[in-house]
């Protein structure tokens, strides 16, 4: 086996629109310019938090989902 990545890492590159997340989350992700969770994980969080379309509810749903999938460490990068 190559690397120590979680089997869930494929989720990072799936379209957010295909993931089991709320319609509000999907809409807000589009408004913020994100198509995948990897794009969010690689983004400058300070910039995201200050964008007009940012919502703490969106962020909390993201945190919960990433934690549930064992991927929360990707948000700290």
Domain parsing of the chain, residue ranges: 20-76
pTM, whole model, 2 decimals?
0.87
pLDDT at 3 over 80: no
pLDDT in tens, 7-61: 689 999 999 999 999 999 999 999 999 999 999 999 999 999 999 999 999 999 9
Three-state secondary structure string covering 4-33? CCCHHHHHHHCEHHHCCCCHHHHHHHHHHC
């Amino acid at each position: 086996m190559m690397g120590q990545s979680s089997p869930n890492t494929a989720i990072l590159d799936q379209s957010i629109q295909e993931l089991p997340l709320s319609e509000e989350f999907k809409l807000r992700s589009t408004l913020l310019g994100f198509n995948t969770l990897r794009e969010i994980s690689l983004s400058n969080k300070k910039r995201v938090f200050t964008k007009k379309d940012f919502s703490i509810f969106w962020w909390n749903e993201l945190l919960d989902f990433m934690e549930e999938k064992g991927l929360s460490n990707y948000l700290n990068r």
